[in-house]
Amino acid sequence: MTYKVAYIIGSLSSTSVNRKLVGAMIADAPQDLEFVEANFSQFPLYSPDLEADYPQVATEFKTILEEADAVLIASPEYDRSIPGGLKNAIDWMGRPWGSNPIGGKPLYVVGASVGSVGAALGQAAVRQTLSFFNPLNMTQPEMFLQANADSFGEDGRFVDAGTQAFVKSAVEAFAEFIRRHA
């Protein structure tokens, strides 16, 4: 059996280390996980005024999440919290009122930052917001990584073997969590 994992990158940066982090996870993920991105880069800023004409990009984002067995979010923290673009996407995701494409699904929130805090507070804020949607949070192993562009090799993995081994063990743990709960 194959499990579909929708992943969301919390950064709009074209050189995002969080996107690279997901690449490093996918590089060593078990074969029964299939990854598909739910991308929010073209979302308008949420306003109730726009809801009647619900954006196609948000519909596509929600459909990817609805069709997924599990959700992976890799995000930086901005000013010790959720980057605005990601929060905006979550606001759209829950509209119209009652929409919930992630309820009951295995969710793993991870993150990387150039700073030593490793996006820990941003991740906590993402989990707090998403708790409203009642996902099945995998809370261990916590992935608070300090990384920059030089942290990754040409094969997409972390240059540091210990870090890549940790990332591999984490994605294996997520796979096991999905097998048990999806």
Ligand X SMILES: Cc1cc2nc3c(=O)[nH]c(=O)nc-3n(C[C@H](O)[C@H](O)[C@H](O)COP(=O)(O)O)c2cc1C
Q: Binding residues for ligand X, per CB under 6 A?
A: 11, 13, 16-18, 76-80, 113-115, 117, 119
Q: Which is nearer to ligand X, 114 or 173 (CB)?
A: 114
CB of 44 to ligand X, least distance (A): 20
Q: Which is nearer to ligand X, 123 or 178 (CB)?
A: 123
Phi, psi of 166, deg, nearest 5: -65, -45
A 10 A CB-CB count for 17 gives: 24
Residue with tokens 């920059």: 148
CB of 55 to ligand X, least distance (A): 23
Q: Which is nearer to ligand X, 79 or 154 (CB)?
A: 79
CB of 42 to ligand X, least distance (A): 17
CB of 115 to ligand X, least distance (A): 3
What CA–CA distance (Å, rounded) separates 178 from 170? 12
Q: Which is nearer to ligand X, 139 or 148 (CB)?
A: 148
Q: Which is nearer to ligand X, 23 or 141 (CB)?
A: 23
CB of 43 to ligand X, least distance (A): 17
From residue 92, give the alpha-carbon distance in Å to each of 25, 85, 165: 27, 11, 36
From residue 166, give the alpha-carbon distance in Å to each of 22, 25, 35, 160, 173: 13, 10, 19, 10, 10
Query: Residue 7 forms beta bridges with which residues?
Result: 37, 72
What CA–CA distance (Å, rounded) separates 129 from 102? 12
